[in-house]
Amino acid sequence: MASFTAYQCDTCKSLSSPPHGFCGRCGARSLRSVTLSGRGTLLSFTTIRVPPARFKGQEPYDVAVIDLEEGLRVTARLKVPVRREATIGEGVVFEGLVEEGPLFRLV
Amino acid sequence: MRGVSVIGIGCTRFGKQNGIGIIDLAVQACREALDDARVPNERVQAFYLGNFVSEALVHQGSLAPMVAYRLGLRTIPCTKVEGACASSGIAFRHGVLMVASGLCDIVLTAGAEKMTSSEITTVTEALASAGDAETEMRLGLTFPGAFGIIMRRHMHQHGTTREQVAMVSVKNRLNGSTNPKAHFQKPITMDDVLGSRLICDPLRLYDCPPISDGAAAAVLCAADVAEEFTDRPIEVIGSGHAMGPGTLFEMADLTTFEATVSAAREAYRMAGVSPGDIDVAEVHDCFSIAEIAATEDLGFVEKGRGGGAVLEGLTALAGPIPINPSGGLLSKGHPVGATGLAQIYEIVRQLRGEAMNQVKDAEIGLAHNLGGTGAVSTVHILKRR
């Protein structure tokens, strides 16, 4: 399991990822990077079977919205083993950054 | 602010329109609206055109002045408005503001899109540009995909069933079967929806609207000038326009579109009416699940009750809250830039008492347009004078 880097506002303490140079909630400019556990649960997900032109050939692939245990919500690619169905509420872990963005897998 | 009336409407047939370019589509709808209003060209003082992806799909920019010039309009300010699938709801809103402010007496608003001349993967990619390219669309998320995620969450969180969601498509395809301008004019069954191929689980093909070409238009006029042109003006009594998060991960609740809730609040407040006063509504059913969320977000039923409402027939043509009597996007088609004004077109026809699927004695109607994954919404409330 890889650790997940996020950004925490020094003023309002809210977490964000990816970084934008200032806090998306309060506007403060002082942020520091924090290392999150990479553990979370599935809020929802889908399997893309009709992809946009530049992802053609990758289908089917899964995209999920994940609640990390520290309170940050992210949208990411999800690796689901063949012959296994994911369910909402199931645990996931961060596997790493791939070309498309963050990748998680089922626990 | 001055009162604003709709005095003319126009809409092309929606569907595959071989050989007709986007400018001609828009001109057709505008010509029909100006003729319907009996407004001569020289009286039009501004033009707003909603369009989303004409640059990406048909390589046509500068759309607003191009359309206006071909219509025979001259020198007036022409503005293209982009707000993804809510582009022409926003165009209509800006027309309303121009008249309400007193800057103009008569404004032409329109929306147009040409989609069927492109490959499906090209269209999917162009539509995906309404999402956040840096965080979500880079993952390969698509619009149907985003609504697949929302649908799965709605089913989990509110106990919404697959059959309830499918019933939206069944209802709207039935309504659209008598609409001569609809892309799909054939009813479908529950089994057709449940047996159609998966696009983005659990979303299936018949949960999605067809890809269509089309345009729609409306002529707006100061209420105190309207009688010069028509004896049956339709008043715009409420206009709401709001933003929300344009990404799934920034939504506090994946089953609620804050943009819709906020735009509806503004429109209801301005109109001085509540959801229970609405006789007929055209809502943004870009996917079957989106109509269920909209039915809730607009306040017609409580959050979580939208699925039950459609399956029980509450939103059917003969029900207490008729939704999408035109057939909605699912049946009419969704030429994205034209959709908001096509909704206005249907509501005006309902309030004039001349709709194909007429809701009896409809006096107050609502049109709801949604762009992106909830990035923007407009809500308009219209009333028969």
Give the tens place of pLDDT for each residue, B342-380: 999 999 999 999 999 999 999 999 999 999 999 999 999
Q: What is the predicted pLDDT for the residue at B120?
A: 87
CB contact under 8 A, A52 and B124: yes
Q: What is the predicted pLDDT for the residue at B107?
A: 98
* Beta-strand relationship, A39-48 and A61-68: antiparallel
* Cα–Cα distance measured from residue B49 to residue B136, given in angstroms and rounded to the nearest whole number: 28
Q: What is the predicted pLDDT for the residue at B196?
A: 98
Q: Is A54 on the interface with B (CB under 8 A)?
A: yes
Strand, helix or coil at B117?
Answer: coil
Helices B288-297 and B162-176: crossing angle in degrees, nearest 10, is 100
pLDDT beyond 80 at A1: no
* Cα–Cα distance measured from residue B131 to residue B150, given in angstroms and rounded to the nearest whole number: 14
The strand order across the sheet containing A31-36 reads A15-16, A4-9, A31-36
For A20, counting Cβ atoms within 10 Å of its Cβ (0-12 exposed, 13-18 middle, 19+ buried), the class is exposed
Q: Catalytic residue at B208?
A: no
* Cα–Cα distance measured from residue B247 to residue B250, given in angstroms and rounded to the nearest whole number: 6
Report the mean per-residue pLDDT for chain B: 97
Across A18-72, where does the E strand assignment appear? 31-36, 39-48, 61-68
Give residue B265's pLDDT band: very low, low, confident or very high (50, 70, 90). very high
Q: What is the predicted pLDDT for the residue at A41?
A: 98
pLDDT beyond 90 at A2: no
Of the residues B85, B208, B221, B286, only one is catalytic, namely B85
Strand, helix or coil at B372?
Answer: coil
Q: DSSP state, B213? A: B
**CB hemisphere CA count around B240 (13 angstroms):** 27
Residue A99 makes CB contacts below 8 A (sequence gap 6+) with none
> Is B340:B92 a contact under the CB 8 Å cutoff?
yes
- The separation between CA A97 and the C-alpha centre of its own chain, rounded to angstroms, equals 10
- Residues of chain A in contact with residue B199, where contact means CB-CB under 8 angstroms, are 49-50
User: Closest Cα of chain A to B165: distance in Å?
Assistant: 16
Q: Is B153 on the interface with A (CB under 8 A)?
A: yes
Cross-strand pairs, A94: A104
> Which member of A50, A51, A75 has the closest CB to residue B249?
A75
CB contact under 8 A, B139 and A18: no
Give residue A18's pLDDT band: very low, low, confident or very high (50, 70, 90). confident
What is the chain A residue with the closest CA to B202?
A46
For B276, counting Cβ atoms within 10 Å of its Cβ (0-12 exposed, 13-18 middle, 19+ buried), the class is exposed
User: Closest Cα of chain A to B124: distance in Å?
Assistant: 5
Cross-strand pairs, A63: A46, A77
Give residue B43's pLDDT band: very low, low, confident or very high (50, 70, 90). very high
Give residue B269's pLDDT band: very low, low, confident or very high (50, 70, 90). very high
CA dist B121 → A63, A94, B115, B288 (Å): 18, 30, 12, 21
Q: Find which of B57, B118, B200, B206 to mutate to test the A interface (most A CBs within 10 Å of its CB).
A: B200
Residue type (1 letter), B258: E
**Residues composing chain A:** 107
Report the mean per-residue pLDDT for chain A: 93
Q: Catalytic residue at B334?
A: yes
How is B52-94 classified by DSSP, letter by letter? SSHHHHH----HHHHHHHHHT--SS-EEEE-BTBTHHHHHHHH
Q: Find which of A20, A50, A67 to mutate to test the B interface (most B CBs within 10 Å of its CB).
A: A50
Q: Is B120 on the interface with A (CB under 8 A)?
A: yes
> Is A31:A78 a contact under the CB 8 Å cutoff?
no
* Cα–Cα distance measured from residue B239 to residue B242, given in angstroms and rounded to the nearest whole number: 10
- Residues of chain A in contact with residue B145, where contact means CB-CB under 8 angstroms, are 46, 48, 63
CB contact under 8 A, A53 and B122: yes
Q: Is B196 on the interface with A (CB under 8 A)?
A: no
- Residues of chain B in contact with residue A56, where contact means CB-CB under 8 angstroms, are 121
* Least confident residue range of B117-131, B157-171, B300-314: B117-131
**B67 token code pair:** 């359309």
Q: Is B247 on the interface with A (CB under 8 A)?
A: yes
Q: What is the predicted pLDDT for the residue at B295?
A: 98
- pLDDT tens profile B139-155: 999 999 999 999 999 99
**B222 token code pair:** 């100061």
Residue type (1 letter), A76: A
Residue type (1 letter), B184: F
> Which member of A44, A56, A75 has the closest CB to residue B139?
A75
CB contact under 8 A, A49 and B201: yes
Q: DSSP state, B183? A: S
Instruction: Enter the pTM of the model.
Output: 0.97
Q: Is B265 on the interface with A (CB under 8 A)?
A: no
Rounded to an integer, the average pLDDT of B129-136 is: 93
Q: Find which of B152, B165, B205 to mutate to test the A interface (most A CBs within 10 Å of its CB).
A: B152
Q: Is B128 on the interface with A (CB under 8 A)?
A: yes
Of B183, B51, B181, which is closest to residue B109 (Cα–Cα)?
Answer: B51
> Is B277:B299 a contact under the CB 8 Å cutoff?
no
> Which member of B145, B198, B249 has the closest CB to residue A73?
B249
> Is B239:B267 a contact under the CB 8 Å cutoff?
yes
Q: DSSP state, A59? A: -
pLDDT beyond 90 at B41: yes
Rounded to an integer, the average pLDDT of B162-191 is: 98
* Interface predicted TM-score of the whole assembly (ipTM), two decimals: 0.96
* Cα–Cα distance measured from residue B204 to residue B189, given in angstroms and rounded to the nearest whole number: 14
Give residue A63's pLDDT band: very low, low, confident or very high (50, 70, 90). very high
Residue B313 makes CB contacts below 8 A (sequence gap 6+) with B319
pLDDT beyond 90 at A84: no
State the CB neighbour count (10 A cutoff) for residue B42: 11
pLDDT beyond 90 at A40: yes
CB contact under 8 A, B139 and A100: yes
Q: Is A75 on the interface with B (CB under 8 A)?
A: yes
